[in-house]
Amino acid sequence: MKTLTVLATGPLTTVQDEGRPGQAALGIGRSGVCDRASAALANRLVGNPPDAAVLEVTFGGLAVRAGSDLLVVTTGARCPGAPHAAPTLLRAGAELRLGAPAGGLRSYLAVRGGIAVPPVLGSRATDVLAGLGPPVVAPGDVLPVGPPTSPPAGVDLAPVADPPAGAVTVAVLPGPRADWFGAAGWSGLVGRPWTVSSDSNRVGVRLDGVPLDRVRAGELPSEGMVRGALQVPPAGTPVLFLADHPVTGGYPVIGYVVDADVDRCAQLRPGQTLRLRGSRA
């Protein structure tokens, strides 16, 4: 079997695929890649099916060595040291080292054949909140690579835009508990810029800014949560849920980032500005 040896991982590298959909009633979150569009592009470029496992790399730092000739590609946040969105043959014994990206946070390394670690409950995704799936990738790991299943895309370069390094604006819809904050709370959510906190991860993006005040007292029973939900803890500053969000939560959800924009939020880095544009459709 072909292999990829991990020499260094940077701040965090995990194996991810499309996750475990449809199991929330059992208390199992979907997890999977944070930036679904970037991971899907990486798989297409090397001829993998959409559900093939890739490496999700947070803020660069990954170094790997090919055990045999491998077709690889990186997408998402552009890292120095790797041909970006351009399928490349990594010869046996050659190394690939990803530097820190200038913009964006998460990069995806796809290998033709996919990362073939054993699946857990039907997926190779690492859920860092639940501790489910393959372990977090560590130096010295030898990752198996599966057999190819279809031809590569046949393109030298995919001309996709890099994640923005400046302010990002995304659309948000009112959530089921928007009335807990009233009109002033909604205006505060969509009318002011928010700053991405350093206390963010695959579970969610924590936002710093002027706290939102509740107009309704009391507590909620635990409710189902989904990717893109903007939950407001007692401190009043929202948390935007990403791939490893909890299945349920007891804090009110004031809104939802529209699904098409959630991938862009997965590329937000600490200190970056996020603006939420109110939408009703």
**pLDDT digits 0-9 by tens, 25-51:** 999 999 999 999 999 999 999 999 999
pLDDT at residue 219 in the model: 86
**pLDDT digits 0-9 by tens, 162-213:** 999 999 999 999 999 999 999 999 999 999 999 999 999 999 999 999 999 9
pLDDT at residue 279 in the model: 80
- Considering the domain architecture, whether residues 92 and 51 belong to the same structural domain is answered as yes
pLDDT at residue 1 in the model: 87
Other C-beta atoms lying within 10 Å of the C-beta of residue 17: 26
- pLDDT level of residue 280 (50, 70, 90 thresholds): low
Task: List the structure tokens of 277.
Answer: 């544009």
Which residue among 110, 145, 180 closes a domain? 145
Residue 113 forms part of a structural domain: yes
Share of the chain above pLDDT 70, in %: 99
Residue 274 forms part of a structural domain: yes
Whether the predicted pLDDT of 91 surpasses 60: yes
- Considering the domain architecture, whether residues 105 and 19 belong to the same structural domain is answered as yes
Whether the predicted pLDDT of 217 surpasses 90: no
- Considering the domain architecture, whether residues 10 and 103 belong to the same structural domain is answered as yes
Task: Confirm if 274 and 167 have CB atoms less than 8 A apart.
Answer: yes
Put simply, whether the predicted model's pTM sits higher than 0.95 gets the answer: yes
**pLDDT digits 0-9 by tens, 46-70:** 999 999 999 999 999 999 999 999 9
Q: What's the burial of 185, exposed, middle or buried (CB within 10 Å: 0-12/13-18/19+)?
A: buried
- Considering the domain architecture, whether residues 101 and 173 belong to the same structural domain is answered as no
Amino acid making up residue 209 = G
Residue 200 forms part of a structural domain: yes
CATH of residue 208: 2.40.100.10
pLDDT at residue 218 in the model: 85
CA distance 226 to 143: 31
Q: Could you list the residue range(s) of the whole structural domain that residue 82 is in?
A: 2-145
Whether the predicted pLDDT of 281 surpasses 60: no
CA distance 226 to 29: 9
Domain count, the chain: 2
- Considering the domain architecture, whether residues 124 and 183 belong to the same structural domain is answered as no
- Considering the domain architecture, whether residues 133 and 223 belong to the same structural domain is answered as no
Task: List the structure tokens of 210.
Answer: 């002027």
- Considering the domain architecture, whether residues 113 and 214 belong to the same structural domain is answered as no
- pLDDT level of residue 128 (50, 70, 90 thresholds): very high
